[in-house]
Amino acid sequence: MKILFIADPLEGFKLYKDTTYAMMEEIAARGHAMAYAQASQLTFEGGRVLVDAATLSLSATRPDWFRLGDTLRQPLSGFSAVVMRKDPPFDMEYLYASQLFSMAEAQGVKVFTSGQALRDFNEKLAILNFPELISPTLVTSKSSRLRSFIKQHQDVILKPLDSMGGDSIFRVRPDDPNVSVILETMTRHETRTVMAQRYIPEIRDGDKRILVINGKPVDYCLARIPLAGETRGNLAAGGRGEARPLSARDRFIAETVGPELVRRGILLAGLDVIGDYLTEVNVTSPTCFREIMEQTDVNVAGLYIDALEDACRSPTSHDG
């Protein structure tokens, strides 16, 4: 197999926790060839989607852990699989890349996750497909509706729809003297849609990341426990990661969401669960492989590459 990674600059990888690097290590151990490019290196020309990609090999040397060959323009159809691992925000450039992926998929290229799924399954809005699994939720750009929701539920989390890692998340109560400026900032004076969710106090026990591979949950989640005084459990916001076996509720949530992920052709997703509630469905570049692998005997990267190999062997793949 020859696998192309579309990812952020390799120089910025934090190897001790990077999920994409864990995937690369597993692929290298199996003897598959790898190549690397950034999303900006995708091109449509002559009726085909092309990429300016370089061969990629790994090294045990630090910090020079990777080696790239010459960059060559080549068709995406020359790869067994294209793995999209660029981090959000899901901005217009991300959207354009997803559209190029869809064009390539129409010509037989296998992309994980597919362009259509990336467009259709917004990581925040995706939970609305499972109303029985979520806490009270409002999606709007209108400050008056947000104020009413905050008054009704007394303790509310506000989050943008296009970010990651706990960025720009606010916890708001009705008596907060900064409510007006927070709503103005979040909605950009009612020109940007945001999500409001009733605060879930179980966040103190961790924001659980449940990995779902080809519709099936990994047996351990990573509970991301907030710093003292912090609302966000995200590792990027300083949270501490603790691997835990799935609870019965965790497994129920994952097994409820799993078939829909398979139907939409999403090979890998990261479900965020706080307490008994589903809060996000991450499909762009789900993380937490490394932490679970280091704290348990589960080779999560191996499970994912098994699924990737199976999908590539299949004559038709939902994900591409």
Residue 119 Cα distances to 20, 173, 260, 275, angstroms: 21, 33, 15, 28
**Cis peptide leading into 88, omega within 30 of 0?**
no
Phi, psi of 274 (to 5 degrees): -120, 125
- The position carrying tokens 């078939």 is 259
Q: Which of 86, 110, 198, 224 is catalytic?
A: 224
Q: Is 272 a catalytic residue?
A: yes
Q: Which of 18, 123, 280, 291 is catalytic?
A: 280
Q: Which of 85, 124, 198, 264 is catalytic?
A: 124
DSSP state of 242: E
Cβ 14 vs Cβ 236: under 8 Å = no
Which element (helix H / strand E) includes 207? Answer: strand 207-213
Token duo for residue 241: 């990661």
Burial 202-237 (b: 16+ CB within 10 A, else e): ebeebbbbbbbbbbebbebbbbbbbeeeebbbbbeb
181: exposed, middle or buried (Cβ count in 10 Å: 0-12, 13-18, 19+): exposed
Q: Which of 159, 198, 208, 290 is catalytic?
A: 159
Q: Which of 18, 26, 272, 291 is catalytic?
A: 272
Token duo for residue 253: 């949530």
Q: Which of 85, 86, 198, 209 is catalytic?
A: 209
Residue 41 has a CB neighbour count (10 Å cut-off) of 16
Q: Which of 85, 198, 208, 232 is catalytic?
A: 232
- Which of helix, strand or coil describes residue 225? strand
Q: Is 64 a catalytic residue?
A: no
CA angle (290 as vertex; 259, 236 as ends), nearest 5: 90
Q: Which of 85, 198, 282, 290 is catalytic?
A: 282
Q: Is 282 a catalytic residue?
A: yes
Q: Is 209 a catalytic residue?
A: yes
**Number of residues written out for the chain:** 320
Residue 8 Cα distances to 33, 61, 73, 126, 154, angstroms: 19, 21, 19, 24, 39
Name the residues annotated as catalytic: 124, 159, 209, 224, 232, 272, 280, 282
